[in-house]
Amino acid sequence: MSNRSISAAKAAEIGRSIEQALSSHSPSQAIRLVTKEAVWRDKDAVHVGRDEIWSALTQKWSNSLHCTLRQEIESFDARRIVIQFESEWQHSICGRWYRSSGEMRVSVDDHWSLSTIESRQTDTPISASERRLAISMAATSDSAS
């Protein structure tokens, strides 16, 4: 392993890449960020390698519609980044809305690819009127124009 450490700028870049990939709901985009042997711990499951992660993301995203994600870097050190996140999404089968909030801890290799991902989150049912991310994201987009 080289002596390269994550700088604030590199941590922000990796965080944006993760957010874009997860917001895309495209396993092919997300899978580009991980090593071939990556380990993803998500709730009670452990997915090892790109194929398992691909399958897990495909399944997860087939059940969620209208997902809005917001995250921010909480901390980082030489090889790890801690990200706080919140998302809102609608279940594709029952139609119920949820707000998920939690923490993602990622480790990177020498090429800045994700080698381990540990995600802990709580999914809370909400009503459509309680959604705040889609509303605040739209307001942010409107004010930027």
Condensed to tens digits (0 to 9), the pLDDT of residues 94-123 reads 999 999 999 999 999 999 999 999 999 999
**pLDDT tens digits for 16-45?**
999 999 988 899 999 999 999 999 998 889
Report the helix count and the strand count for the chain, using DSSP H and E. 4, 6
Four-residue CA torsion sign, 125, 128, 134, 136 = negative
Residues 97 and 92: their CA atoms lie apart, in Å, by 10
In degrees and rounded to multiples of 5, residue 135 shows phi and psi of -70, -45
Q: What is the pTM of this model?
A: 0.84
Band of the pLDDT at 60, cuts 50, 70, 90?
A: confident
- 2 DSSP 8-state letter: -
Q: Where are the beta strands (DSSP E) in the chain?
A: 34-42, 45-48, 64-76, 80-91, 97-108, 114-126
Which domains are present in the chain?
8-144 (3.10.450.50)
CA dihedral 35, 76, 5, 106 (to 10 degrees): -10
